[in-house]
Amino acid sequence: MAIRAHSAAGVRVNVVIGGTGIGVSTTTEFEEILRLQYAGFIEADSAQSIQLTVELTPPLTLDPDADIQVRGEGSRWTMERGDFHASYDSATRVGKVWQSASRQSLDSVIRIIHSLTLAEETGFLLHAASAIRGDRAFLFSGKSGAGKTTISSLAPPDVHLLTDEVSYVRNVSGRWTAFGTPFAGELARPGENRSARVEALYLLRHGSENRTELLSAASAARSILRNVLFFADDANLTRRVFDTICAFVEAVPVLELSFLPDAGVWELIH
């Protein structure tokens, strides 16, 4: 692939989500954009971090909304969309991205890399809002329009929002744990960089009253799998994600939550 690029100047921003760091080497100008995008999730660089070099290029195509393509051969992965091209080796934990100076492009690459890493580590990314109340985390999943942003905006003052868009879940020493992410949805603000044990997952739908219904493990798994963010066409990793979701629903209650757009719905969340 012949791409004219501005070489990264060696400036590094280490973005840590869910305990996994991605050290992004880029230009000084793009560094400023990333520090704003990932404020609250930037930590000191570490030799344990995944290393990612970003080369800034002209737009690759005129269709940045094209479907993401993720292909793997052994530990080597290529990722493409209309606005970026990337390569990543999961064995050496080193990758490279060619893209324009768009934070959305890099945000997509970071999500893909985390989805691959989590598949190996008994975890997953979920299209869901999540929040901490007390010392427990709650997930709120559903298709677009189901109410993730609404329930996030209705949260009482004692709730710490982890995300209104993409939830990060991983099994840590036998405990299913939700972590805050900088991936913002309609609220247009990153989540808090906190974590807590997952108490329950709620599948959202708008209703005529506030009520919950406990789902069977099989029904819960089917619903959750529809909202898992996993981009790679890889049979082995897909099976691992499937097994992870099955283990999750056996350990964590999953309930359907029908609700009105009223703060009283939080009285049911416990």
pLDDT score of 154 more than 90: yes
What's the Cα-to-Cα distance from 237 to each of 111, 113, 117, 121, rounded to whole Å? 16, 13, 10, 11
Domain borders along the chain are 11-120, 123-268
pLDDT score of 156 more than 80: yes
Mean pLDDT for 214-221 is 97
- Second CATH level (architecture) for the domain 123-268: Alpha-Beta Complex (3.90)
Residue 146 CA to residue 193 CA, distance in Å, equals 25
Strand segments, DSSP code E, in 90-144 are 94-99, 123-133, 136-141
pLDDT score of 105 more than 60: yes
The dihedral of CA 30, 47, 232, 195: what is its sign? negative
Mean pLDDT for 67-74 is 92
Under the banding of pLDDT at 50, 70 and 90, the label for residue 30 is very high
* Apex 74 CA angle, 71 and 77, nearest 5: 35
The confidence score (pLDDT) of residue 194 equals: 97
Share of the chain above pLDDT 90, in %: 80
Collapsing DSSP to helix, strand or coil, 114 comes out as: helix
Task: Answer whether 66's CB lies under 8 Å from 15's CB.
Answer: no
| Mean pLDDT of the chain, nearest integer | 91
Which of the residue ranges 44-48, 82-86, 263-267 would you say has the lowest mean pLDDT? 44-48
Which of the residue ranges 7-21, 230-244, 251-265 would you say has the lowest mean pLDDT? 7-21
Which of the residue ranges 48-62, 76-90, 141-155, 178-192 would you say has the lowest mean pLDDT? 48-62
Instruction: Say what the pTM is.
Output: 0.91
Helix (H) / strand (E) containing 179: strand 175-179
